[in-house]
Amino acid sequence: MARIVMKFGGTSMAGTERIRRVAQIVKRQAERGDEVAVVVSAMAGETDRLVNFCREANPLYDPAEYDVVVASGEQVTSGLLAITLQAMGCKARSWLGWQLPIHTDNAHAKARIGTIDSEELLASMAGGTIAVIPGFQGLTDDNRITTLGRGGSDTSAVAVAAAVKADRCDIYTDVDGVYTTDPRIVSRARKLKAVTYEEMLELASVGSKVLQTRSVGLAMKEGVRVQVLSSFIDENAPSADTIPGTMIVTDEELENAQVERQLITGIAADKNEAKITLTRVPDRPGAVSHIFAPLAESNINVDMIIQNVGRDKGETDVTFTVPQADLARATDVLQNQREAIGYNRLIPDTKVAKISVVGVGMKSHAGVASTMFTALAERKINIQAISTSEIKVSVLIDEDETELAVRVLHTAYGLDAD
């Protein structure tokens, strides 16, 4: 007997037929004698629809009431899945976020999970009842409903898995695992048997939309064993216990697994960054902090930063990137600080893409960055900014060259499937 948390995303829950297919997968797992909890998303498109209603009602809506509205999407699918399981002869019941409860802080629309009361839940699961839990939602200390930020059901699933000490958290989605890159861009992309938490964290944060970044961080912290696998399977598909998907593992597990590793594990592209250049910033101590301190105060995350070598008259240009969604606010902040910073022009650019190559192999090998620069140069792709971490190199390029760059790099690092 194992204790398994299963999570199904919006595409898998979109409509009666698909929910029936999900119920079949869940039933199969329960019939193996496992204790099962299922975390579900709202039907695909539903959260967007609900968000729009809030915006129409008032663009400056109260986030606490927004949470009341958008949490309803998952309430519907959790009830429907319980009904469908019951119709197949399974014992099942739903547990809404407030019924467990899943305690969160009070940062509405982007709440963080604290603890989950799981005693009753565990007793019910031990009695053979499948627990169906809506993802994305929780409860504040003063009993208000919260949601966890878009894509938050992944985090709900991992948090539930940690709370019930699950043997595995299976994230069923519309792809059958984590790939070396987006298979829609590179048809020879390969499915990975395993990635490390660190790699997945980097890949998720640079635009591979398989898992919410926060869920990966939580899984790493809590040591939750996560598998990403496809929900679009039939009765003949191998059981999830045979690990048909991609496992997220520790560095040690990966080494022990001795799967053949390339230097680079994956390549991700992110078109949601914007570039800002400030020209003729005074080249003196403190100038850069005048730029970035007010941005930090406004909670705007700056990613890549370049300060050019000072030119004549002790002036320099400073270029950096921010999330595109924050560009308007960033521009506003910087215009208000124009006197203090002392720049000449502010040049925004949204036609950029960040391409990142990720791999733990980088820690012990040199030359990863230069392979990247050479491959891009051969295709005359211009690099506008660079940033690196221990297991990642990112470059900023023209958005129109995204697909080309990803393809070229996939080949350069020997990732193409034969």
Pick the stretch among 150-158, 294-302, 308-316, 317-325 that binds ligand ASP (CB under 6 A): 150-158
Q: Which residue has the tokens 């019930």?
A: 164
385: partner contacted, choices Mg ion, ligand ASP, none (Cβ within 5-8 A by kind): none
Q: Kindly write out the interface string for residues 145-164 of this chain, putting x where it contacts Mg ion by CB under 5 A and - elsewhere.
A: ------x-------------
Place of tokens 């699961």: 125
3-state secondary structure of 252: helix
136 touches which of ligand ASP, Mg ion, none (CB within 5 to 8 A by kind)? ligand ASP
Asked if 150 touches ligand ASP (CB under 6 A), the answer is yes
Q: Which residues contact 256 (CB under 8 A, 6 or more apart)?
A: none
CB within 8 Å of 62: residues ≥ 6 apart: none
Asked if residue 151 binds ligand ASP (CB under 6 A), the reply is: yes
- Would you say 173 or 316 has its CB closer to ligand ASP? 173
Output the six-digit token pair for 283: 């080249």
Least distance to ligand ASP, CB of residue 162, Å: 17
Which residue's CB comes closest to Mg ion?
151
What would you measure as the largest C-alpha separation in the chain, in angstroms?
80
Least separation in angstroms between residue 196's CB and ligand ASP is 23
DSSP state of 5: E
* 10 in contact with ligand ASP (CB under 6 A): yes
Closest CA to 34 of 43, 25, 42, 21: 25
Beta strands, E only, 295-411: 305-307, 315-323, 346-349, 352-358, 385-389, 392-398
Rounded to a whole number of angstroms, the minimum distance from the CB of residue 43 to ligand ASP is 9
- 138 near ligand ASP, judged by CB under 6 A: no
| Minimum CB–partner distance for residue 292 and ligand ASP (Å) | 30
Neighbours of 229 (CB within 10 A): 22
For residues 389 and 405, give the distance between their C-alpha atoms in angstroms, rounded to a whole number. Answer: 20
Distance CA 358, CA 252 (A): 18
Work out how close the CB of 150 gets to ligand ASP at its nearest, in angstroms, rounded to a whole number: 4
Q: The sheet that has 137-139: what strands, in order across it?
A: 113-116, 102-104, 137-139, 145-147
- Residues 57 to 76: which contact ligand ASP by CB under 6 A? 73
- Binding site partner of 129, from Mg ion, ligand ASP, none, Cβ cut-off 5-8 A by kind: none
Residue 51 CB, nearest approach to ligand ASP (Å): 9
Say which entry of Mg ion, ligand ASP, none residue 47 contacts (CB below 5 to 8 A, set by partner kind): ligand ASP
8 Å CB contact between 245 and 230: yes
φ/ψ of 28, rounded to 5, equals -60, -40
Residue 84 to residue 75: CA distance in whole angstroms: 14
Task: Give the one residue of 153, 180, 231, 246 binding ligand ASP; rule: CB under 6 A.
Answer: 153
- Chosen from Mg ion, ligand ASP, none, partner binding at 73 (C-beta under 5 to 8 Å by type): ligand ASP
Contact string 9-48 vs Mg ion (x = CB under 5 A) = x---------------------------------------
Torsion, Cα of 169, 38, 33, 93 (10° steps): 160
Residues 25-64: x where in contact with ligand ASP by CB under 6 A, - otherwise, as a string: ----------------xx----x-----------------
Of 149 and 294, the one with the shorter C-beta distance to ligand ASP is 149
- Identify each DSSP E strand in 56-156 by its residue range: 92-94, 102-104, 113-116, 130-134, 137-139, 145-147
Residue 227 contacts which entry, ligand ASP, Mg ion, none (Cβ below 5-8 A, type-dependent): none
Query: Which parts of this chain interact with ligand ASP (CB under 6 A)?
Result: 10, 41-42, 47, 73, 135-136, 150-154
